[in-house]
Chain A
C-alpha cells in the first residue's frame, strides 16, 4: 500500500501540467486578483486576505479533484484496476492510495498561496491562524477528493474530462472561489450558499476573522462528504462486481 502511494506520488510530482494547475496557477490568479485595496463587502477582510483563502481552497480543490477523477476512470477502462486486483493489495487500497497522494500534493497548493500572499501582498495573520487555515483547508479538501473518486467510478474514460471540468468550474465559480458570491444576484447567492465550495471557503474566512466557524458550513461540508464518500463506495462496489 505504501509502495503504491509512493509511486502515485512520484507520478503526480513528475506531471508538470498537473503541478502547474494545482500549485502555480492559484498563486498566479491570487496575484492578478488581489490588486484592489480596501475590504470585501461585508466580510471585514482585505481583498488580499479574502482572495488568499479562495485561491488556497481552489488550489487544493484542483489537486484532489482533477487528479483522481480522470485517472480512476482511465485506469478502470485500461484494466490497471483489474491488474491490481490480482495482487494482495486490498480492494480499497487503490482508492486510498490515490486519495493519499492527492492529499500530499494539495498541501503545497495551499502553502504556496500563503507564502506568496505573505511575501508579496504583506498578508499578516497570527501564527495559530496560519496553522488552523492550512489544517482546515487541507482537511476540507477530502470532501472533494471523495467527489473525484465518485466521478472516476461514474464516468467512462471519454466522458470523464468534460464532466470533471463542469463540476470543477461550476463548484469554483458558484461557490465564490473566483469572485465573492456577495457580488452574485440574490437568487444565485441562495443557491451558492448550499454548495460545498462555498462552505469550504467560508470555513477559512472564519479563521481569518478569528471567529468560530458557522455550524451550517460545517454541516454542509460533512453532509457532502458523506454523500460523496458513500456514492464513491457504492460505485466502487458496483464496478468491482462488474469487472
Chain B
C-alpha cells in the first residue's frame, strides 16, 4: 500500500531534476552526450562512473554552473539558478573552495544568512560534527574537516535536493561512515539526495538508485541489484572431471559468459537457479559448486567493458 501511494505521488509530482537530451562539449570532447534523466522526490541516487565519465560536468549543468550546448535542464520545474535562489538546492562540490581567514562558525553563519529557509547555526554545526572546531580558522583544517565544513554549507537550510560531488574524498573509514549516517538522516526527512562517487560500495550501500555514466552517456539506471543483474548478476563456478565439452555448456539458459580453465568452469548468469538446474540436466556431475553474487564493482566493470566492445 505504501509502495503504491509512493509510486502514485512520484508519477504526478514535478520531477526534482529533469535532463532532456543534454549535451556539453569542450573543444572536441563530448563531456555529456545527449543525456536524459529524471530524479523523483525522496530518492537517494548515486551517479557512478570512472574518471572522465562526465559526472562533474553533469552536476555542474544541474547546478547551473555550466550551460548546456543542447537540450534542457530543469530543477523543480525551473532553471537551476531559480531553484537555488528559492533555497531548494544545497550542494557540495569537490571544486568548492572555502573563504580563508575566517572561522568555521563565521562561514557557516554566512551560509545560514544566505539561505532563504535557514537552520540555526548551532544545529548545522552539530549535524555536520564540527562543533568542536567551530572557532578554528578555515585555512587550518584537515582535508576531512574541510569536507565536513562543505557539508555544513550544503545543509545550512531546509533544501529539498542535496547534491554531493565525491563527498567522502579525504575522509578515513570511520569519518566516512559517520558522514553517511548523517546523510541518511537527510534522506529520511524526505529529501532527494544525488551524489557522485567512485567508491562503489557507497553506491551499493546507500543509494536506492544507481545511474552509471560512461563517456557522457547513461549506461545503466536502476537499483544496485538491477545493475548487477544487468551485468550478469551471479557467478557460478564448479569443477568437472575428464575432458570438458564446452558446446553444451554454452547452451545453458541465462548464461552471459563462460570461462574454462583446466577442470574449472566459471559462468556468469542472470538467473543462477535456472542455469544450475539446467546444468544438472546435461548429465554432468559438477563438483565444488559455488554460486556467488557479483559485486557492484565487477558489475560496473562488466557493463563499461561491454559498452566499449560495442563501440569499437
Contact = CB atoms under 8 A, between A and B. Distances in A.
B153 interface: yes
Greatest chain A CB density within 10 A among B89, B96, B111, B116 is at: B96
A88 B116 contact: yes
A4 B97 contact: no
B110 A7 contact: yes
Interface stretch (B62-70, B288-296, B299-307): B62-70
A127 interface: no
Q: How large is the interface on A (under 10, 10 to 19, 20 to 34, 35 or more residues)?
A: 20 to 34
Contact of A7 (B93, B102, B150): B102
B106 A10 contact: yes
Interface in B103-130: 106-107, 109-111, 113-116
Contact of A82 (B85, B93, B101): B93
B25 to A, nearest CB: 14
B65 A15 contact: no
Nearest to B153: A83
Given A7-B110, A86-B63, A75 B99 contact: yes
A85 B65 contact: yes
A79 B138 CA distance: 14
Q: How large is the interface on B (under 10, 10 to 19, 20 to 34, 35 or more residues)?
A: 20 to 34
A88 B86 CA distance: 7
B95 interface: yes
B58 to A, nearest CB: 15
Contact of B85 (A14, A80, A88): A88
A88 B102 contact: no
Nearest to A74: B100
B265 to A, nearest CB: 52
Contacts of A3: 109-110, 113-114
A243 B66 contact: yes
A87 interface: yes
B181 interface: no
A85 B64 CA distance: 9
Interface string A60-103: 00000000000000110011111101111100000000000000
A87 B84 contact: yes
Contacts of A119: none
Interface of B: 63-67, 84-87, 89-91, 93, 95-102, 106-107, 109-111, 113-116, 150, 153-154
Instruction: State the 8 A-B residue pairs at the shortest beta-carbon distance, nearest first.
Output: A79-B97, A78-B97, A3-B113, A80-B97, A83-B96, A87-B114, A88-B85, A86-B91
24 contacts: A3-B110, A4-B114, A7-B106, A7-B107, A10-B102, A74-B100, A75-B97, A78-B98, A78-B100, A79-B93, A80-B97, A82-B93, A82-B97, A83-B96, A83-B97, A83-B150, A85-B65, A86-B89, A86-B93, A87-B84, A87-B114, A88-B84, A89-B114, A243-B66
